[in-house]
Amino acid sequence: MNRRLSLNTRLNLIISAMIFVLGASSIAVTAYANAPQGFLFEFRYMTVNGTVFTTIIAFIILLASIAEAVTGRAKISDKLYYFRLSSAVTECIIGVVIAMSFFPSVPDKPDIMSYESFCMHVVIPLLSIISFLLNRTPRERMHPLLRLNCAWLITIYAAVVITLILTGAIPQDKIPYSFLNFYTQSIWYIVYFGCFIYSFAYILSFLLTEWNRKLSAYWTDNENSAESRY
């Protein structure tokens, strides 16, 4: 088995396992710290939702990497590619939003030095980007609209959280981000952040897919490139 285990597959195994362990442990620590009822309120944060999503994707990639190591090939899956892209873009945006929260004009100042917060906001986003770039079977000549697959998790999160805020299910003092506070912020401030996040997500999608396409040349060899796509 070890002879069939390429460097790329080994890296996928290691990084996916790291993301899964860090993600699962961060979620567990968050759940323990907030008790059962309080933990449900933590899902108002994109960070928690993104971590859960990324942890699941990492587990799937881990299984796919193990299958490739054992059998010498893995099943082709376009959906997994776009899930990896969505995970990487979402995690990157989480990191950027957290970085922006330290600007003087933004009132949110999160504490990222605890174990779970540092993992969710710094380590997992970085590992997720690296994991996506390690994919050695990029999509060539991707249609521009397909890059929008990167934003479906963001869209679902925004739709659910905004609905909960407007209906009062999430009280004003529990609104997760200042740019979602319809009670204290102007509509233009909210629209600006929304446009920024979606525009940035699309730019990230373009950059990550192009970097992945270029880096894939280092992982693909003539013998196995058609057999180990996932």
pLDDT in tens, 55-69: 999 998 888 888 877
pLDDT in tens, 15-29: 999 999 999 999 998
Q: Give pLDDT, residue 203.
A: 92
- Of the pLDDT bands very low, low, confident and very high (cuts 50, 70, 90), residue 1 is very low
Q: Cβ(208)–Cβ(200) under 8 Å?
A: no
Q: Give pLDDT, residue 36.
A: 65
Q: Give pLDDT, residue 51.
A: 93
- Of the pLDDT bands very low, low, confident and very high (cuts 50, 70, 90), residue 215 is confident
Q: Cβ(181)–Cβ(175) under 8 Å?
A: yes
Q: Give pLDDT, residue 220.
A: 61
Q: Give pLDDT, residue 98.
A: 76
Q: Cβ(185)–Cβ(178) under 8 Å?
A: yes
Q: Give pLDDT, residue 106.
A: 59
pLDDT in tens, 92-106: 888 877 777 666 665
- Of the pLDDT bands very low, low, confident and very high (cuts 50, 70, 90), residue 134 is confident
Amino acid at 86: S
Q: Cβ(47)–Cβ(121) under 8 Å?
A: yes
Find the range with the poorest average confidence among 80-94, 115-129, 131-145: 131-145
Spell out the residues 6+ positions from residue 220 whose beta carbon is closer than 8 angstroms to its own.
136, 137
Q: Cβ(48)–Cβ(30) under 8 Å?
A: yes
Q: Give pLDDT, residue 74.
A: 61
- Compute the distance between CA of residue 228 and CA of residue 203 in angstroms, rounded to an integer: 28
> What does the block give as tokens for 28?
């567990």
Q: Give pLDDT, residue 25.
A: 94
- Of the pLDDT bands very low, low, confident and very high (cuts 50, 70, 90), residue 217 is confident
pLDDT in tens, 163-207: 888 888 888 888 887 788 888 888 888 888 888 889 999 999 999
What single-letter DSSP state applies at residue 119? I
What ranges in 101-141 are assigned the alpha helix state H? Answer: 115-118, 124-133
Residue 216 has pLDDT above 90, yes or no: no
